[in-house]
Amino acid sequence: MDKIASGFIRNSASIGGNLVMAQRNYFPSDIATLLLALSSSVSILTGRKFEKITLEQFFSTPPLDSKSVLLSVHIPYWEPIESSGTNEYNHRLLFETYRVVPLPICNALPYLNATFSTKISSHKDGVLVNSIQLVFGAYGVKHSTSARKVEEHLTGKILSLDILAESNQIKLQKARMIVISIKFKADIAVLRKTGCGIK
């Protein structure tokens, strides 16, 4: 979180404001990318009408007008499931975030950001992918989006090199993101050397 905006903005802005700006102004919000990977939802009040919609739905609707207020953001709680007959947890949540930013300012708007969230469990044949969210955002696109076809392909499968190779062949819904990631490949190499938020 310390790489998002500046300390002043983080201390005075709100998450809801960031999401509304991302919806209206089409900028690559790190927070939107992160919350989409967590299957978050938002509560909106328009006049006397209250509705709760997924964040994905929120970004596909027209921008909020002056009669609408984003009241809250809901992040679902994930409770680990115990293995039958034991006190051990069989399921595990893996969560990673990445961002590529212009040099030398690490907290500038990112060229590209990504969040990967997956729930896995042990299986007699290896590691089972129970669910997975792969979300990408990029400068110049409307908003962050999920790699839905890849997610559907991996869900319910036992992880293996063959499954990952198959996933590599699936076209992402937003091909422009691939072009942008190639374009900034040099930036990624430099960022790795400077330790500016990239592993």
**What does the pLDDT read at residue 7?**
67
pLDDT tens-digit readout, 7-51: 667 667 788 888 988 888 877 788 899 999 999 999 999 988 999
> Mean of the pLDDT values across residues 83-109?
70
**What does the pLDDT read at residue 189?**
52
Q: Where are the domains of the chain?
A: 7-74, 91-194
- β-pair partners for 116: 96, 134
Q: How far apart are CA 34 and CA 144, in angstroms?
A: 9
**What does the pLDDT read at residue 53?**
95
Q: How far apart are CA 59 and CA 144, in angstroms?
A: 9
Sign of the torsion angle spanned by Cα atoms 137, 141, 145, 150: negative
CB 50 within 8 A of CB 44: yes
Packing angle, helices 185-194 and 175-183, rounded to 10: 60
CB 106 within 8 A of CB 124: no
List the structure tokens of 107. Answer: 């907290």
Architecture per CATH, 91-194: 2-Layer Sandwich (3.30)
CB 198 within 8 A of CB 100: yes
CB 29 within 8 A of CB 17: no
Return the amino acid letter for 187: D
pLDDT at 185 over 70: no
**What does the pLDDT read at residue 184?**
46
CB 45 within 8 A of CB 68: yes
Q: How far apart are CA 174 and CA 26, in angstroms?
A: 15
> Mean of the pLDDT values across residues 73-95?
71
Peptide bond into 104 cis (omega under 30): yes
Q: How far apart are CA 4 and CA 27, in angstroms?
A: 13
How many CB atoms sit inside 10 A of residue 92's CB? 13
Architecture per CATH, 7-74: 2-Layer Sandwich (3.30)
How many CB atoms sit inside 10 A of residue 52's CB? 12
Pairing status of strand 68-74 against strand 49-54: unpaired
Work out the mean pLDDT of the chain and round it to a whole number: 77
